[in-house]
Chains A and B, each alone.
Chain A
Amino acid sequence: MNGETIFIEGGRVIDPASGTDGVRTVVLRDGRIAEVAERWERPRDVRAIDARGRWVVPGLVDLHVHLREPGQEYKETVETGARAAVAGGFTAVCAMPNTSPVNDNASVTELMLARAAAAGLARVYPVGCISRGLKGEELAEYGELKSAGCVALSDDGKPVTSSALMRRALEYARAFELPVTVHEEDLGLVGKGVMNEGPTATRLGLKGIPTASEEVMVLRDIALAELTGGRLHVAHLSSAGSVRAVRDAKRRGLRVSAEATPHHLTLTDEDVARSRYDTSFKMNPPLRSAADVRAVREGLADGTIDCIATDHAPHSAVEKDLEFEAAANGIVGLETAFAVCLALVREGALSETRLVEAFTIAAARAFGLPGGTLARGAPADVAILDPGLTWRCDPGRFRSKGRNSPWKDALLVGRCTHTLVGGRLVHELDRGEP
């Protein structure tokens, strides 16, 4: 990308892929990691970033974001989404295809990539549709999508209701080695539900969504992955039953991976009541019970759930400033993910190494993406994170256009201070912030 050499000095390098954890100097040259060493002599005129007291980790990789372009640029654009990504330490994001028009053809894929290149911030990897037009009826053209740059397939936002189509998708995608990432819900069981079914929904008088609506589909797709030998990736897994199903599938050697979101790892359905129907706590799948959150945390810790993905879903006030049942699903997450998940380490639910792994190499491996490591020769995608920095979450200062964050006004600990993509500094935390 760029011929400049940069030294990142004095930071604690945590690179689970290479087993490194200690104070190192990281040398970036020609867009690649040139060296990671305990001491490395810096030539006089070479630029250095002082990372003392901070973590130096591979740039974070997010398998699940909604960048809204083309079609809903008032919510987010590839550029604002990529800006939010690098502000949160993410150097690569996978953009879901439920844009307008949807990403079921090369021209939409190419448009996203062109916008991403023009922005010159995070790497953007488009995800193509499983079904043409996101209609759930016939297969999209996976070969064309892959050639144009798609890295995975998804009808995200919608389940693939037809088991027959899902079977063919898993089979056909094998020819192109594309993972099929699924949004799991049985729409009949969901009905008009708007939050997790349980005592809190009963108290609030809101229609519930049972965890079984997710689990029956996860179990179906695991059976189809077994039938077809296809690559299944379960998006935003939210229930204890889903964790059990994926754990069992992995034990049986199936090609199944899974992700969990920061909110499903830290918030519960009771937060909907606590916030008094705040629509920033409305998403799909909904926030679940405390027991589900415990199970999802355990699944992440033991590797059943491979990685953390934000499901960054910006909406404007037009979609959110409504009755809870009428509001759109989804919250933004790129700029808060690290701090929110770092709390899991403080609470003893996760080791520091596993946290970094789940944000980096584990995500990259799930979709076969480059990066996720600071090994010599890898792309020079690096995040410098301050694990002790306390800041007040002010959505008004987000780089994202979305303001729909359940962490509004929360005091968060942990923040990205520098992000480098291909050896280029693309984000540096303003000293005036927080």
Chain B
Amino acid sequence: MIGRHRHLIGLEPLSREEIVGVLQLAISMKEVLRRPIKKVPTLRGKAVVNLFFEASTRTRTSFETAAKILSADALNWTSASSSVTKGETLVDTARNIEAMHPDVLVIRHPAGGAPQLVADHVSCAVVSAGDGAHEHPSQGLLDLYTLAEHFSGVRGKAVGEKGAAPNFGSIAGKTIAIVGDVSHSRVARSDLHGFTKLGARVRVCGPPTMIPQGMETLGATVHYQLREAVEGADAVVMLRIQHERIGDPLIPGTREYSKFWGLNEKKAAEWLTPGCVILHPGPVNRGVELAPEVADGARSVILDQVENGVAIRMAILYLLAGGAQGAHTSAAEGAARS
């Protein structure tokens, strides 16, 4: 359970406390991840099925790694096509997998709401690994974790070291810009919910064709000029421009996009405050939204995101696979010490 929730469908339904609960647990998970022998028996005998209807290397590998470190059995069920073309409905697929008694079903699907539909039809826990343009909750959580590490100055310190634990209160009052194709981005939505719940101010930025309606009601300010969005920001999340998702003519092309909404070294040097870090959910389109020097530069925390992603997913699986019955924190610490 994550607080009151049996599933993790998105960050929107979670309270601040529930989000912080997962983040706190990820601290000890990160310590396990950094051990020379990365294995704890915590979820031995539990089964995690990764049900992916969309290509994904990073997220699937991250969930799989997280499951294996916790000694759960991880099984990947990949389907290149979504249910409609395949002839078997999503509900049927989910029920078939459920008959194999998994404890957690991790699902990625091109349709917004698909994890909810699955959750309505199965008895095991369901974790969304991204659904359409709806949410990508584990990404939102790992972005929060990465930001908190930066804001509380523990980046680069060895985990377990005294004073090395990130303080999640440090996100409150910070200004974070999310730049790119917000309309098609599930990362942007999960980030927006997560950032605002932890007290950050959020700016979204991109060409007007890529900013969906109602951003203000979700607590963000809307900017069409990159400079205006990133100046004075404490962190910038650059979103991937996904060619395959652009069905409408949203932008004339990547060259113009890069010129007006991409971040290169010159713009970063002139517009960003010295402490501002750059996040990206990956994979980066080098030369489109991020110039290579920026993606690999000192401001980039992209690889921290990947590492923290495993810790966050360990925490999620631990909480939802029934590893936590009641006093989860102490149990997790027990796992971390074992």
Segment with Cβ contacts to B, from A68-76, A163-171, A201-209, A227-235? A201-209
Interface flags, A373-389, vs B, CB<8A=1, else 0? 00000000000000000
Majority-rule SS of B interface residues: loop
A276 interface residue per 8 A CB criterion: yes
Interface flags, B242-265, vs A, CB<8A=1, else 0? 000001100000000000000000
- Max chain B Cβ within 10 angstroms of own Cβ: one of A277, A322, A323: A323
Residues of chain A contacted by B90 (CB below 8 angstroms): 322-323
| Inter-chain contact A205/B83, CB cutoff 8 Å | no
| Inter-chain contact B213/A277, CB cutoff 8 Å | no
| Inter-chain contact B212/A208, CB cutoff 8 Å | yes
| Inter-chain contact B247/A192, CB cutoff 8 Å | yes
Q: How many residues of B contact A (CB 8 A)?
A: 31
Interface flags, A398-430, vs B, CB<8A=1, else 0? 000000000000000000000000000000000
CB contact list, A316-349 vs B, under 8 A: 321-326
Select A324's contact among B91, B112, B135, B217, beta carbons within 8 Å.
B112
Residue in B closest to A276 when the chains form the complex, CB atoms? B116
| Inter-chain contact B213/A197, CB cutoff 8 Å | yes
Residue in B closest to A325 when the chains form the complex, CB atoms? B111
Majority-rule SS of A interface residues: loop
Q: How long is the Cα–Cα vector from A58 to B214 in the complex, in angstroms?
A: 45
Contact count band on A = 20 to 34
- Max chain A Cβ within 10 angstroms of own Cβ: one of B84, B113, B189: B113
Q: How long is the Cα–Cα vector from A200 to B247 in the complex, in angstroms?
A: 21
| Inter-chain contact A204/B89, CB cutoff 8 Å | no
Residue in A closest to B13 when the chains form the complex, CB atoms? A276
Q: How many A-B residue pairs have CB under 8 A?
A: 81
CB contact list, A270-314 vs B, under 8 A: 276-277
The answer to whether A326 and B134 touch (CB under 8 A), given A203-B218, A204-B113, is no
Residues of chain A contacted by B218 (CB below 8 angstroms): 199, 202-203
| Inter-chain contact A277/B116, CB cutoff 8 Å | yes
A191 interface residue per 8 A CB criterion: yes
B280 interface residue per 8 A CB criterion: no
B215 interface residue per 8 A CB criterion: yes
A372 → chain B closest CB, angstroms: 41
Identify 9 new A-B residue pairs, CB closer than 8 A, beyond the known A202-B213, A205-B112, A326-B82.
A198-B213, A201-B214, A202-B214, A203-B12, A203-B214, A323-B114, A325-B111, A325-B112, A326-B111
Q: List 5 A-B residue pairs with CB atoms under 8 Å apart, sorted by A's residue number.
A: A205-B113, A205-B135, A206-B113, A208-B212, A324-B112
Nearest first, the 10 A-B pairs at minimum CB distance are A199-B214, A205-B134, A277-B113, A205-B112, A205-B133, A323-B111, A202-B212, A202-B214, A324-B113, A199-B217
